[in-house]
């Protein structure tokens, strides 16, 4: 036996909260981690040109987080537009 799904307004609010959380997490990881690397002078895999390859991982995580946040935000808008006002 499964529980009834939550009302659409609750689902939309949860999707928006998830999107904002993903945006915050993406900014913290994508900007904060490279900033900490720079301030603390942590070098992981430097190239000859002086670029650290370890910066690509947090930036990639930030891009994925932003993409997921956009997806969940659009999903919340679709739920809100498909439900009639109470």
Output the CA angle 13-28-41, nearest 5 degrees: 175
Please report whether residue 69 resides in a domain: yes
Q: How many domains is the chain built from?
A: 1
The whole domain housing 32 covers 8-82
d(CA 26, CA 64): 8
Q: Does residue 64 belong to any structural domain of this protein?
A: yes
pTM of the model: 0.80
**Tens-digit pLDDT string for the chain (86 aa):** 688 888 888 999 999 999 999 999 999 999 999 899 889 988 888 888 877 888 888 999 999 999 999 999 999 999 988 866 65
């Amino acid at each position: 036996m499964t529980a009834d799904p939550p009302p659409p307004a609750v689902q939309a609010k949860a999707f928006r909260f998830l999107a904002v959380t993903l945006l915050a997490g993406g900014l913290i990881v994508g900007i904060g981690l490279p900033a900490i690397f720079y301030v603390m002078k942590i070098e992981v895999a430097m190239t000859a040109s002086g670029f650290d390859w370890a910066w690509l991982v947090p930036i990639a995580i930030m891009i994925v987080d932003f993409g997921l946040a956009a997806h969940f935000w659009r999903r919340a808008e679709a739920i809100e537009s498909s439900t009639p006002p109470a």
